[in-house]
């Protein structure tokens, strides 16, 4: 051990910058570009109320006479609507900003819910083992044998019928988060359980038991932090999946209402006009959705490579 590493206490930023992960990130142009694009999309979504020239939720700012203006680079456009307008006369650029915000919010919250459910169930199943493990994993198998969309469609259709359209539209965000969150927990539970089974056999767990720690503490403080790398990887993929699920459900009319469009409902509302020449209402939000999902997946791929213990053991 050299004195250099021990005598000076590097700052947290410095340590992050010097870490293997940051190094491999800097060396990977795809990851850098992906993160940049993701940061731009996420920032503009978060700052939507400041950036957007119009408020698409405010009926006073919407004029039906402005409907279906094309983007500025096409003939017959109106200069104040940069990306044109949709069928109701809303500025498409503002609506996309607000829609991305909703899509990201639903995606992230749904994944947080999935992760919470999946990690808790996976940890308990893996650590306790035996009958409880079999029971929980069979539940996961049953859940997985229904496709997410099917579960979501049935659930959302029933709630829509039960509460009526108005109430449903008001709470659509929460319903979507709940249904996407609950439908996908087995992905996490299986991954976490497999990692916990491997970690549980390691000697530091024995030594924690020998030091008199209880099962809760061993699970949460000792095993969970050692199982984080697959959780990170699966989380990026799941965020992308959740955004797609939300878009699909909204496209099918079971998600966000047209008055508060997410990317999916925007694509859906433009779909009716695509053959009348107003391609931009569908195409532009579609491109944003594809780029968003693509960069998240590329970041996930990079993370999987970095955290793969076969390539590098940290």
Site for another protein, rule CB under 8 A: 1, 5-7, 9, 129-130, 202-204, 206-214, 217, 221-222, 225-226
In this complex, which beta carbon is closest to another protein, that of residue 80 or of residue 207? 207
In this complex, which beta carbon is closest to another protein, that of residue 6 or of residue 145? 6
In this complex, which beta carbon is closest to another protein, that of residue 190 or of residue 222? 222
Instruction: At 308, list the tokens.
Output: 């793969």
At closest approach, how far in Å is the CB of 52 from another protein?
Answer: 43
Residue 125 burial (C-beta neighbours within 10 Å; 0-12, 13-18, 19+): buried
**Four-CA torsion 163, 167, 170, 176, nearest 10 degrees:** 0
Contact predicate 254/264, CB 8 Å: no
At closest approach, how far in Å is the CB of 205 from another protein?
Answer: 9
In this complex, which beta carbon is closest to another protein, that of residue 1 or of residue 60? 1
Helices (H), 28-129: 29-46, 48-51, 92-128
In this complex, which beta carbon is closest to another protein, that of residue 26 or of residue 221? 221
At closest approach, how far in Å is the CB of 222 from another protein?
Answer: 6
At closest approach, how far in Å is the CB of 303 from another protein?
Answer: 17
At closest approach, how far in Å is the CB of 26 from another protein?
Answer: 23
The partner residues of 85 in beta bridges, in order of sequence, read 91
At closest approach, how far in Å is the CB of 130 from another protein?
Answer: 8
At closest approach, how far in Å is the CB of 128 from another protein?
Answer: 11
Contact predicate 85/92, CB 8 Å: yes
Alpha-carbon radius of gyration of the chain: 23
24 sits in which H/E element: helix 20-26
CA 228 and chain centroid, separation: 18
**Four-CA torsion 156, 166, 239, 272, nearest 10 degrees:** 90
Contact predicate 174/246, CB 8 Å: no
In this complex, which beta carbon is closest to another protein, that of residue 50 or of residue 210? 210
At closest approach, how far in Å is the CB of 225 from another protein?
Answer: 4
Map tokens 């955004």 to a residue: 243
User: Residue 276, CB half-sphere, CA atoms under 13 Å: how many?
Assistant: 11
Residue 208 burial (C-beta neighbours within 10 Å; 0-12, 13-18, 19+): middle
In this complex, which beta carbon is closest to another protein, that of residue 40 or of residue 220? 220
In this complex, which beta carbon is closest to another protein, that of residue 76 or of residue 212? 212
Give, rounded to a whole angstrom, the gap between the first and last alpha carbons of the chain. Answer: 18
C-alpha 56/C-alpha 132 separation (Å) is 50
């Amino acid at each position: 051990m050299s004195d250099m590493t021990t005598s000076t206490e590097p700052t947290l930023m410095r340590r992050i910058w010097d870490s293997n992960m940051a190094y491999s990130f800097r060396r990977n142009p795809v990851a850098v570009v992906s993160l940049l694009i993701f940061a731009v999309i996420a920032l503009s979504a978060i700052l939507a109320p400041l950036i957007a020239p119009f408020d698409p939720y405010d009926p006073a700012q919407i004029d039906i006479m402005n409907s279906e203006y094309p983007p500025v680079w096409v003939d017959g456009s109106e200069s104040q609507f940069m990306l044109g307008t949709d069928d109701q006369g809303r500025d498409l650029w503002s609506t996309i900003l607000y829609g991305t915000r909703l899509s990201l919010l639903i995606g992230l919250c749904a994944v947080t819910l999935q992760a919470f459910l999946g990690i808790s169930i996976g940890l308990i199943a893996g650590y306790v083992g035996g009958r409880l493990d079999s029971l929980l994993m069979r539940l996961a198998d049953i859940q997985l044998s229904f496709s997410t969309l099917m579960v979501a469609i049935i659930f959302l259709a029933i709630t829509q019928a039960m509460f009526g359209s108005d109430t449903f539209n008001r709470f659509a965000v929460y319903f979507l988060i709940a249904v996407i969150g609950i439908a996908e927990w087995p992905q996490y539970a299986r991954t976490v359980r497999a990692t916990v089974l491997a970690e549980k056999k390691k000697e530091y767990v024995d030594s924690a038991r020998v030091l008199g720690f209880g099962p809760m503490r061993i699970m949460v403080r000792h095993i969970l932090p050692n199982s984080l790398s697959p959780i990170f990887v699966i989380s990026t993929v799941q965020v992308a999946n959740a955004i797609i699920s939300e878009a699909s459900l909204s496209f099918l009319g079971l998600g966000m209402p047209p008055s508060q469009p997410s990317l999916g409902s925007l694509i859906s509302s433009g779909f009716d006009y695509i053959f009348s020449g107003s391609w931009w209402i569908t195409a532009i939000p579609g491109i944003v959705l594809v780029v968003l999902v693509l960069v998240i997946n590329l970041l996930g791929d990079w993370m999987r490579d970095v955290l793969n213990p076969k390539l590098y053991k940290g």
